[in-house]
């Protein structure tokens, strides 16, 4: 038997390749400090686990869930957006429950585009955005995110032909991999650009809870008119350390939400109700755990930046997310530098070129180990003598 042409065209899974390299080094008995992945290192808060335990003991939750999810979770998502962002949401028509937002990101092009249609993706950007283009058999072009523009796109440099023909654009702030954030003025430009060019916007808000120096990231849907032209996807993976639970939601334009619900009617029979009830508890109950988590990431960020600057490795402090985006030394490509650190320092980082052409010249670090290990990683790198302090 042969794979379908569609499967053959899927991109190589960047993170799977990275994991294989790291695991090989670990199997050799080496003490690897893994800063390459985006897997939260803290446990899910206890009250969320207890909500799952209680729900799992109820036989009513052992049956199939309603195809489009339980009302309790959709209402919790709407209440969360009203509380956190002042955005009013109809839980029945403007919320779609997702098997993690990775699934939603891959599904959306199949929902909205036809074969050969054009979508626009950020570069650098989350590598799995590309999966949806192959599964939907659509074309894509990228737009650059550059340091000189604070890693925000400049819509004016997108070629006229692309602006006129593109039907879907993905954005992501706080940004993976750069750690950049977007302000209200940028999202206002985004809404105007989308309306002018009849482009649908998907805002990937995976790191929506994680902003530093007292600046809370804003939701795309806070902007007047945003709901007319797009949706936002929010995952519980990062905010509540629920990565393995695979639960998130899309929220916004009701036509797009119905499209997502329709495709999922044919793919799934919704999430285990116990997970949905625990997710509802996460969104609506005490948020102290979120505040503590953001404080932890900011403390790690500050410790890491200080250590890097002590060895002469200068970087721009991330404004959000749990990533840092660092320039590689001269005479290295991104992949060469990442491989060199793994081989010589037993430190794993993600090569920037894995996130796109404009990721070349950078590596991404995940602030997902304790502060002492972050400092140790930088000290190991410093011993290689690549930077002048």
Reported confidence tier of residue 388, pLDDT bands at 50, 70, 90: confident
- Answer yes or no: is pLDDT of 15 > 80: no
Residues 93, 117, single domain; the answer is yes
Same domain, 277 and 139: yes
* CA–CA separation, 217 and 203 (whole Å): 13
* In a shared domain, residues 126 and 266: yes
* Segments forming the whole domain that contains residue 373: 5-43+288-382
**pTM, rounded to two decimals:** 0.96
| Cβ(55)–Cβ(256) below 8 Å | no
- Domain of 311, CATH number, reads 3.90.1150.10
Same domain, 303 and 366: yes
The secondary structure element, H or E, covering residue 34 is: strand 33-34
Judge if 154 and 86 occupy the same domain: yes
Residue where a domain terminates, one of 284, 307, 331: 284
Distance of CA 27 to the CA centre of its chain: 29
Q: What residue has token string 């590598």?
A: 127
Question: What percentage of the chain reaches a pLDDT higher than 70?
Answer: 100
Please answer whether residues 205 and 181 qualify as being in contact, where contact means their C-beta atoms are separated by less than 8 angstroms: no
- In three-state secondary structure terms, 363 is strand
Burial of 258 from C-beta contacts in 10 A (0-12 / 13-18 / 19+): middle
Last residue of a domain, one of 284, 316, 331: 284
Domain-located, residue 388: no
Q: Are 221 and 133 found together in one domain?
A: yes
269 pLDDT tier (thresholds 50, 70, 90): confident
| Domain co-membership, 78 together with 35 | no
pLDDT number for residue 297: 98
Of 284, 319, 351, the domain-final residue: 284
What is the model's pLDDT at position 16?
78
Question: What is the average per-residue pLDDT within 65-73?
Answer: 94
Sign of CA dihedral 80, 85, 90, 92: negative
Residue-wise pLDDT for 306-318, tens only, equals 999 999 998 889 9
Structure confidence by residue, pLDDT tens digits, 89-137: 999 999 999 999 999 999 999 999 999 999 999 999 999 999 999 999 9
Same domain? For 261 and 357 the reply is: no
Structural domains counted in the chain: 2
User: Do 52 and 28 belong together in one domain?
Assistant: no
Residue 71 within any structural domain of the chain = yes
What pLDDT, on a 0 to 100 scale, did the predictor assign at position 37?
87
User: Quick one: 260 and 331 in the same domain?
Assistant: no
Q: Is residue 348 in a domain?
A: yes
**Residue 243 sits in the same domain as residue 319:** no
């Amino acid at each position: 038997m042969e794979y379908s042409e569609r499967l053959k065209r899927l991109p190589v899974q960047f993170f799977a390749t990275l994991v294989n390299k790291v695991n090989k080094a670990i199997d050799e008995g080496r003490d690897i400090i893994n800063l390459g992945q985006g897997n939260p290192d803290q446990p899910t808060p206890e009250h969320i686990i207890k909500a799952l335990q209680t729900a799992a003991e109820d036989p009513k939750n052992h049956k199939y869930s309603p195809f489009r999810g339980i009302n309790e979770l959709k209402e919790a998502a709407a209440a969360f957006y009203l509380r956190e962002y002042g955005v009013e949401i109809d839980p029945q028509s403007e919320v779609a429950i997702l098997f993690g937002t990775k699934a939603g990101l891959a599904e959306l092009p199949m929902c909205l585009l036809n074969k050969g249609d054009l979508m626009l993706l950020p570069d650098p950007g989350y590598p799995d955005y590309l999966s949806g283009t192959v599964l939907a058999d659509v074309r894509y072009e990228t737009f650059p995110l550059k340091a000189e523009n604070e890693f925000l796109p400049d819509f004016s440099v997108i070629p006229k032909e692309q602006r006129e023909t593109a039907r879907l654009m993905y954005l992501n702030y706080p940004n993976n991999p750069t750690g950049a954030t977007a302000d209200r003025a940028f999202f206002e430009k985004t809404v105007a650009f989308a309306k002018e060019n009849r482009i649908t916007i998907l805002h990937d808000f995976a790191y929506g809870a994680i902003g530093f120096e007292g600046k809370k990231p804003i939701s795309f849907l806070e902007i007047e008119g945003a709901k007319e032209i797009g949706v936002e996807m929010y995952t519980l993976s990062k905010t509540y350390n629920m990565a393995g639970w695979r639960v998130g939601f899309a929220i916004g334009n009701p036509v797009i939400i119905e499209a997502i619900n329709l495709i999922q009617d044919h793919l799934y029979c919704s999430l285990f109700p116990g997970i949905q009830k625990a997710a509802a508890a996460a969104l609506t109950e005490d948020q102290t755990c979120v505040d503590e988590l953001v404080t932890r990431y900011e403390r790690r960020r500050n410790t890491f930046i200080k250590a890097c600057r002590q060895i002469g490795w200068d970087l721009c402090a991330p404004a959000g997310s749990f990533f840092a985006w660092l320039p590689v030394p001269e005479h290295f490509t991104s992949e060469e530098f990442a491989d060199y650190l793994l081989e010589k320092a037993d430190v794993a980082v993600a090569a920037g070129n894995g996130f796109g052409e404009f990721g070349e010249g950078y590596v991404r670090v995940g602030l997902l180990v304790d502060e002492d290990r972050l400092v140790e990683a930088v000290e190991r790198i410093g011993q290689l003598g690549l930077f002048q302090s």
